[in-house]
Amino acid sequence: MVGQAGQAGQVGQVGIIGGGLMGSGITEVCARAGLDTVVVEVDDTASAAAERRVRDSLGRAAKRGKLTEEQVAETLGRVTFTTDLGALADRDLVVEAASEDEEVKLELFRTVGALLEKADALLTSNTSSIPIVKLGAVSGRPDRVMGVHFFNPAPVMQLVELIPSLTTSTETLQRMQGFVADQLGKQPIEATDRAGFVVNSLLVPYLLSAIRMYEAGYASAADIDKGMVLGCGHPMGPLALSDLIGLDTVRAIGISMYQEFKEPLYSPPPLLDRMVDAGLLGKKSGQGFYRHDG
């Protein structure tokens, strides 16, 4: 049954590192599944923002009739927000959802790998592109490390990519398959440990091509998006989707994929570099290819 822990191999206590758009979404998913969840952020301001994101999302779910007010209160009661990485020590599973910066993630895996008290505790990353084997190598527990890539918005999107590395044990992969499918009620697929995994290997070149088209003046942002929505049946156009994902994240994935494969289609176009440098990151900053008020 979803949310019920206690059987052999099941996860009861979860830690989330990072409470941004992805981290707060993963937090909500875990807490709604009945799991004791700790969220660690870099400072009090970020921690308060993470809590607000979770509260707001649950409030919207209640307004849509997806949750009762009692369920909202119960879900929030399962979540603790803190700035102390030491609060992760007793966790069965930690999901790192920090910024898409390789050095930041490597340092977190060094620190948290040494903190975890349970020999069988799993340490995972929600990275979109960074090699999992690198994270496992610095963790001190490479057999217990793998990628678990949720999609935004995590409470709604059913897909989760599971990415074992060369050093991930079969037991770890099986436990994560059970966690995602049985405890969270989502649909896992397995991907090899290569930059982009399954979805982003297909998606990011498409997004970068749309940005190049806009940069070259082929069409307006609105018309490029309308063309793909009405002409191809996509629910959202590529530039609007880039804004939703975050232009800094799209750029970081492109850079990581280009570094691994040296394919020109993975290289971020100059316009994307300039927009990220200017802080025009899409929905998260209020301005990207579109303006996002509120």
Active site residues: 128, 149, 161, 200
DSSP state, 294? -
Give DSSP secondary structure letters for 168-197: --HHHHHHHHHIIIIIS--EEEE--SSTTT
User: Distance between CA 148 and CA 168 in Å, rounded?
Assistant: 12
Q: Please give the angle made by the CA atoms of 216, 219 and 222, to the nearest 5 degrees.
A: 125
The string over 150-188, giving b where at least 16 C-beta atoms fall within 10 Å of a residue's C-beta and e elsewhere, is bbbebbeeeebbbbbbebbeeebbebbebbbebbbebeb
Contact 22, 152 (CB under 8 A): yes
251 HSE (CA, 13 A, CB side): 20
Residue 285: strand, helix, or coil: coil
Helix (H) or strand (E) holding 93: strand 93-96
Number of neighbouring beta carbons within 10 Å of residue 232: 8
Residue 9: strand, helix, or coil: coil
Residues 6+ apart with CB under 8 A from 231: none
Residues 6+ apart with CB under 8 A from 242: 207, 210, 211, 250, 282, 288, 289
